[in-house]
Each structure stands twice: as C-alpha cells, then as structure tokens.
C-alpha cells in the first residue's frame, strides 16, 4: 500500500491546511444523534493544530441538492467539534463567499474554522468536470495544502475529494490511513477463521462484495432483508418479505461457488415474521422454510433473524479470529426487531479476534444499541467506500493521492 500521507507534507506552522472530513452526521430536530464521524476526525485535526497549522475544515451533510437548506447546515457540527477539541471553531455561513473569506482570513496559527455544507454549492457534486474544477479552484484559495480525511467519500469523484487534491499539494489524513490498514488486513492478511456477516435490505447492494470475498473467507453469514433472496433461491416461499427475483440466478451461482470453495454460507433457520412493516406490528417466530405458514399467511413479512439463528451466528462470530460485519440483521430501529442485530454486536464485542464494523447502518446500529466504539477492533466511517474497496473497484479519492494497492 503506497500513497501520500501527512509525513510527506512540509512544515505546516502558519500554513493554511484545508481538511476534507466526512462530518455527515445524523440530525434530529437540529441535534446530532451520533457524533461518531466527528470524533473520528479528531486525530488528524489535533495533529495539524499541534503543528501550528491554520485548519480549514470542509465537509458535506446530507443531500441538499446544490442549494442552501437550513436543516442541512453544519452549524451544529461546528458546536460539537468545538466541544470535542476544547477550543473555539469559527463557522462560516457559506462555502466560498464573504463569510468563508473572513473566517479563513482571521485564522491564527493553531486556529480552526469550519465552512458551510459543501453540497450547498452545485459544483461539489456536478457531473461536469469543468464545474467541479471551478468550485475546487474557489476552495483552493483558502489553503496552501490539502489533507483528504473523509474516507466515506473517497469513492466519489467530487470537487472537494478529487479536483481539489490535484490543485494543492495533498496527502491523506490519519483516518484514511487507519481505514486502509484495516481493509488491507481484511483482504490480504486476515487471521483465520475469517467470517463475514452481511445484512441490510438488498442483496443487489452486496453482490460484488460477496463475489470478491467468497474466495477469501471461511464463513459467510447472511441476514437482513437480503436473506430472503437466498431463501427463495433454495426454493422456499418468503411471503411479503423483501425479495429481489432478478438476483435469484446470481445468488444460486454464489451458493454453488461457495460449495466448490469449501466456504460455509450460513443462512437463517428461523426468522421473525410480522403482520406488517411497523414498530408495533404483531409478529411471531417461524422456521425459515415456513414463513407463509404463520397466522399472517402469504402477507407475512420477515423483519429480523430468529433467536436460534442469532445464537448460531453469535457462536460463529465469537469463535472467529477475523470478522467483517456490514449491514444489520433486521429492522433494528424497531425494538421488537433489533434482537438479531444486537446479538451480532454483542458477539463481535466479545470475540478475542479482530472485529470490524463496516460503517453505514451497522455503525449506527451498534451505537443506537448502546455499544461503545472501543468495544470493537474498528468501526469504519465509510460503508459505501469500504464495500467498493473490498469489491476491488477504483476509488478516485485515493488514486488522486497516489494510492496503489
């Protein structure tokens, strides 16, 4: 693994350093409900501040569609970042306008400012390279060097991720270094037995990563909404559960490939079937091949793995030396259907092996269920970026930093 890191940058005292973080945190009524991504950015920011740099933080939040929208403002993030750093964080109310100009101009050595949501400017995510370059050039006026540390966006060719890194002297931050170290460990040097746990709603989102990981792992545990396509591929009826019929042939091929490779694909033996999709929906546990034989008939919908499956999955996780988990086992936002996800999280926290929570909904789930980050070997900040790395896809935000696997 080779790419430009912070050690490649010259003395940073007094230099303006633009840091692309991923501060895309969930908000409810203007309050941050999970500050994990903010905390993940602290090592790089503290290092730069300790070196005497003038730090200009840029990030996106949500999908505002290229125009300012108050509920996507990064102002709450600025307040939380200030609390975590223990120092004032100046907040600019625009991206490249008068407020940003003033905030950057007033920075002293060891000072830090956060600019408003990058995606308030259409140039950030434009499909036009020219428009992205124009916005990146405007941002570049605020910096002498650029540090890319938003791992959750390195799979995107966006102005602050790709074009900006070409304009200014650039390097990867500590978070990206850590994420890549972990992913290389999963792909190249995993300690065995190696187990991958995949969940989430759609199997189509995980097909490429399944194909990439099958030859590398010992066991693959399948939960979440995607499990029903696997069950259907085995000839079972799944009621009104989420089913991607167009993926049945592909799933069948993966089941056959796993048998040829000697990889154990472990599917649920029981599921929690509900009358409807809802937090208070009536539900019962059914055998995986008897989903339509509940009182809900063909209208029953599977919303979680069952208790026997959860116990079996947990046993495999605990006995593994390397575990990668991406995707909840059920609709964890509803307490009645969170037991499967909680069982995986608990087992991963208890394993003596190296356990990786693969970002996205999985990271949100473990925190929502009351687990601490330090109970796991690593919690990734980039669900989509992690998956695309594991799939072997090119990641523009890394390639522009000279990354080579």
- On whether 156 is known to bind a ligand per the annotation, the reply is yes
333 is in an annotated binding site: yes
The answer on whether 148 is annotated among ligand-binding residues is: no
Contacts (Cβ under 8 Å, ≥6 apart) of 87: 49, 112
Is 405 annotated to bind ligand?
A: no
Q: Catalytic site residue 97?
A: no
Q: Is 362 annotated as a binding residue?
A: yes
Structure tokens at 189: 């040097």
Separation between Cα atoms, residue 229 and residue 235, nearest integer Å: 10
Point out the catalytic residue in the list 36, 66, 278, 384: 384
d(CA 38, CA 102): 24
CA–CA separation, 276 and 263 (whole Å): 35
User: Is position 63 annotated in a ligand binding site?
Assistant: yes
Residue 37 is among the residues annotated as catalytic for this protein: yes
> Is 107 annotated in some ligand binding site?
no
52 in active site: no
Check if 299 is active-site: no
Burial pattern 249-262, b for ≥16 Cβ within 10 A else e, equals ebbeebeeebeeee
Annotated binding residue at 61?
A: yes
CA atoms of 105 and 75, how far apart (whole Å):
19
Integer angstrom CA distances of residue 255 from 159, 162, 210, 224:
41, 38, 11, 17
Listed residue (43, 12, 329, 384) closest to 201, CA to CA: 329
81 annotated as ligand-binding: no
**Cα separation, 328 vs 292, whole angstroms:** 23
The one catalytic residue among 111, 360, 383, 397 = 360
Find the catalytic residue in 20, 37, 318, 346.
37
> 206 a known binding residue?
yes
Question: Is residue 62 marked as binding?
Answer: yes
Cα separation of 41 and 58, whole Å?
12
Query: Is 302 within any annotated ligand binding site?
Result: yes
Q: Tell me: is residue 37 an annotated ligand-binding position.
A: yes
Task: Show which residues are catalytic.
Answer: 37, 202, 360, 384
Which residues define the annotated binding site for (2R)-3-phosphoglycerate?
Answer: 37, 119, 156
Residues at the binding site are: 22-24, 37, 60-63, 119, 156, 206, 302, 333, 359-362
Q: Enumerate the known binding-site residues for ATP.
A: 206, 302, 333, 359-362
Binding residues for substrate: 22-24, 37, 60-63, 119, 156
């Amino acid at each position: 693994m080779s790419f430009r890191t912070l050690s490649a940058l010259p003395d940073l005292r007094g230099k303006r350093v633009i840091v692309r973080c991923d501060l895309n945190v969930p908000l409810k009524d203007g309050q941050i409900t999970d500050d994990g991504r903010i905390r993940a950015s602290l090592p790089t920011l503290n290092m730069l501040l300790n070196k005497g740099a003038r730090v200009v933080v840029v990030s996106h939040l949500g999908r505002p569609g290229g125009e300012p929208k108050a509920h996507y403002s990064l102002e709450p993030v600025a307040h939380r970042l200030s609390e975590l750093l223990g120092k004032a964080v100046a907040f600019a109310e625009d991206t490249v306008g008068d407020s940003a100009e003033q905030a950057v101009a007033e920075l002293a050595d060891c000072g830090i400012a956060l600019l408003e949501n990058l995606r308030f400017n259409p140039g950030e995510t434009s499909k036009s390279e020219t428009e992205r370059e124009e916005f990146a050039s405007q941002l570049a006026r605020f910096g002498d060097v650029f540090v890319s540390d938003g791992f959750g966006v390195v799979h995107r060719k966006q102005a602050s991720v790709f074009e900006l890194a070409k304009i200014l002297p650039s390097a990867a931050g500590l978070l990206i270094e850590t994420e890549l170290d972990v992913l290389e460990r999963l792909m190249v040097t995993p300690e065995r037995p190696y187990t991958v746990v995949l969940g989430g709603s759609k199997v189509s989102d995980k097909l490429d990563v399944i194909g990439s990981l099958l030859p590398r792992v010992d066991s693959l545990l399948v939960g979440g909404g995607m499990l029903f396509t696997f069950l259907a591929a085995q000839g079972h009826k799944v009621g009104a559960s989420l089913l991607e019929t167009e993926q049945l042939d592909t799933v069948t091929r993966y089941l056959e490939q796993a048998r040829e490779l000697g990889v154990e694909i472990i599917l649920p033996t029981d599921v929690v079937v509900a009358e409807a999709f809802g937090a208070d929906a009536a539900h019962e546990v059914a055998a995986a091949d008897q989903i339509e034989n509940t009182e809900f008939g063909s209208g029953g919908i599977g919303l979680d793995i069952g208790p026997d499956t959860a116990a079996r999955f947990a046993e495999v996780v605990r006995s593994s030396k390397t575990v990668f988990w991406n995707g909840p086992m059920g609709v964890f936002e509803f307490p009645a259907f969170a037991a499967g996800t909680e069982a995986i999280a608990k087992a991963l926290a208890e394993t003596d092996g190296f356990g990786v929570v693969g970002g996205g909904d999985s990271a949100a789930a473990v925190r929502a269920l009351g687990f601490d980050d330090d109970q796991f070997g690593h919690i990734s900040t980039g669900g989509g970026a992690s998956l695309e790395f594991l799939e072997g896809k090119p990641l523009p935000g890394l390639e522009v930093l000279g990354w080579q696997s």
